[in-house]
Structure 1
Amino acid sequence: MLKKVTIQADQRVLLFDKGSYVKVLGPGTYRYFWWSEATVVVMNIGKPFVVEGRDLQLFLHDQELVQELDVVRVEDHEYVLHYEDGQFAQLLKPGVYAFWNVLRKHAFVHMDVRKPEVPAEVDRSILSKLGAVVQTYDIASYETGFLYYDHLLQRELSPGKYYFWKGPVSVMVRTLDVRQQQMELLGQEIMTEDKVTLRLNFFAQYRIAGPVRVLEMRAFEEQLYVQLQLTVREYVGTLKLDELLRRKEEVASFILSRLREKGEEFGVQFVGAGVKDVILPGEMKEILNTVLLAEKKAQANLITRREETASTRSLLNTAKLMDENQTLFRLKELEFLEKICEKIGSISVTGGGDLLERLGSLIGDRGSQRERES
């Protein structure tokens, strides 16, 4: 009695005799005796070539089978990108793989993970599917980056997005902000040359100009802060309190020039500096307020005396002119008479005669009396 096996067009059959592989059977119908110890394994050629419990090497001696397979070996230091009919299918890790080439065309791209950076020719659209084996670093437009392999600096990175394989090489990217930044000294207690202890708030603006030098320094910001602190103390300690209060702008300019001399050493460029606040002790404030009040009073008295002197001098000049010119004297009298009349509601005159004549005679009598006295 015969057994029958029918193989479809999208199938292949692996024939075994007493457990040993014999050959591959293509599409068609096959018959064998029922007492035969032959067995078959039906394979779907649309799927990878995998036989449960059997090593792939057991089948690769069959040249007829090998012609229908694409076999790829992935080394320990590799990843392989597997494409089917031009589309990405999967990532292959170290091992040996076989795929039927009857229905689909296969392509394999080998990636050496000892070179961690993902090559530019790899389509970035597929990297999102490889999150388990790819690490990503973003460098913003205001940053500069530095690439390290196994803690050794490789190169500087410009802004952008970078992809690296997760493999035997350790990858690290450090970034530095190259925008203008500001460092502040707040509440610094400093003694001036005249032994006045005050608190000073000072700021300095800078941007990183030498990123490599910055990376070579440990605790870069702390060292920069100490340098700013020492520079401020060094200069302010040479000034008296009055000089410091009067020349704050000059203080800032001088300290900025000194900082710029140190800029290259720290890998930065200082672009600005200034004194924000000078905070005095309570008793010193009272003393300064007293001094200021006294100065203002003295200035006010000086102005008052100056105005009084000017007024007296003006009166003296007017008197001299009136003595020398009788017409001017009469005009001045009429001016005073006009001012008197402006403040009087009514004038009562007794006796005969015209009002203007009476007033004129009154002024005339006073004028004659002054001539006799002179």
Structure 2
Amino acid sequence: MMFKNIQIKAYQVGLVFRNGNLTEILKEGNQWIFGNKTVEIYDLKNKFMTSEDLNLLLRNENLNAMLEVIEVKDGEIVLVYENGIFREVLSVGQHAFWRGIINRAFQKVDLTKVDITEKISKTILENMKLKNFTRKFVVTNQYQGLLLIDGKLDSILNAGTYYFWNNEISVEVKSVDMRMQQMEIAGQELLTKDKAMLRINFYVRFQVENIEKALMENKEYDKQLYILMQLALRELVGAVTLDELLVKKDAVGKEILENLGNKAEELGLKVSDAGIRDVILTGEMKEIMNQVLIAEKKAQANSIMRREETASTRSLLNTAKLMEENEVLWKLKEMEYMEKIADKIGDITVSGNSNIVSQLKEIFAK
């Protein structure tokens, strides 16, 4: 008769098979096997893995009592924790674990729903073993998001990280920046009421106020706002002359916003400020305005010169009147003339008894 010795170590167990049937379970120690039998040794700390039919093995009452069997159905997974630490994910099928050695806990998850209602930490959800079973969406700071489930609006999401189970149900998150934004409407070539061609650079400051309106009731709300502001600017400029536009340039933005009414609200937006950044004259209009400017400056210069000449003449008349009325002032003026002449001329001869100022006048008048 054939016999062999089998050594079963601590935390091990041996299953004895004869003709494919489980006949005996060997515990720790030195064991003797007689006859044509095979022995499979298992580590009690590990999951029970066998090539045999598990259901047939479980008919053995002793083995059945030693194993904890977990059934995982379609649309489910089971998370396995060992001594409170996450270890693995069980997919669809039948799984068995040895009892008594390691404290195991099993958490069943329903994958047929979208929301993660089970109490599972983000650390575990980020584990590589769960990556294929979850969907992750991040709404960054200063943003809001719309959660769409099967194309229908479910809820509005604030900044944060969101996880959903991965299944056949479609999940989408559309995010929008809720901060104040500035839109440039540059290079707009417009015609004023008096047919002056201009190029205007315009800006508008806005922010999303109602994310549901902006994304669900409107397509490309920012492009729609651009067109609204473009048309409003064109309408305003076409109703005023060039001079009127230049005079009230700083007030154009406020007037456009007033005319805009509730159109921005219908886009889910709040427009807070707008204005003209630059007014650029094009082609011949620029040359004409330069000529007008030069003419205005020349007229201003001529006016200033005339005022100065008038003031000078008035000053001479006042001086002459004072000299005529005051003999001492007349003598002082004679001395002033003499001093100036002395600086320029070496010798002067004055003849006769006539007035020196009269004689000097005659000299300089020649």
TM-score band, normalised by shorter chain: 0.7 to 0.9
Amino acid paired to 1:128? N
The equivalent of 2:182 in structure 1 is 182
Mapped pair 1:271 → 2:269? no
Shift of 1:121: 4.1
Distance (whole Å) between structure 2 residues aligned to residue 150 and residue 349 of structure 1: 116
Q: Contact (CA 8 Å) 1:188, 1:201: kept in 2 or not?
A: yes
Amino acid paired to 1:114? T
Deviations 1:187-241 (A, max 9, x none): 2222211123332221112111111111121122221111111111111110111
The equivalent of 1:164 in structure 2 is 164
Mapped pair 1:319 → 2:320? yes
* Paired positions, count: 357
Mapped pair 1:139 → 2:102? no
Matches within 5 A, 1:113-152: 113-118=111-116, 121-126=119-124, 127-129=126-128, 130-152=130-152
Deviations 1:50-97 (A, max 9, x none): 211x33222334343233222222232222211112211111222221
Please report the RMSD computed on the Cα atoms of aligned residues, expressed in angstroms.
2.9
Distance (whole Å) between structure 2 residues aligned to residue 29 and residue 276 of structure 1: 95
Larger CA deviation: 91-100 vs 256-265: 256-265
Deviations 1:132-174 (A, max 9, x none): 3233222221211222222222222222222232223322211
Structure 1 residues 23 and 148, CA gap change in structure 2 (3 angstroms): farther
Amino acid paired to 1:48? K
For normalisation by structure 2, the TM-score amounts to 0.86
Structure 1 residues 265 and 19, CA gap change in structure 2 (3 angstroms): same
Amino acid paired to 1:108? F
Q: Secondary structure at the match of 1:9?
A: coil
Distance (whole Å) between structure 1 residues aligned to residue 219 and residue 285 of structure 2: 41
Shift of 1:340: 3.6
Larger CA deviation: 120-129 vs 199-208: 120-129
Distance (whole Å) between structure 1 residues aligned to residue 354 and residue 29 of structure 2: 154
Q: Secondary structure at the match of 1:76?
A: coil
Distance (whole Å) between structure 2 residues aligned to residue 281 and residue 18 of structure 1: 101
Matches within 5 A, 1:300-315: 300-315=301-316
**Can you give the 5+ residue segments of structure 1 that lack an aligned partner in the other structure?**
351-357
Distance (whole Å) between structure 2 residues aligned to residue 173 and residue 188 of structure 1: 36
Q: Contact (CA 8 Å) 1:70, 1:106: kept in 2 or not?
A: no
Q: Contact (CA 8 Å) 2:207, 2:269: kept in 1 or not?
A: yes
Deviations 1:297-345 (A, max 9, x none): 111111111211122112212222222222222233333334444x33x
Deviations 1:265-310 (A, max 9, x none): 1111223222122233311111111122112111111111121112
The equivalent of 1:248 in structure 2 is 249
The equivalent of 1:226 in structure 2 is 227
**Can you give the 5+ residue segments of structure 2 that lack an aligned partner in the other structure?**
362-366
Match among 94, 97, 121 for residue 96 of structure 1: 94
For normalisation by structure 1, the TM-score amounts to 0.85
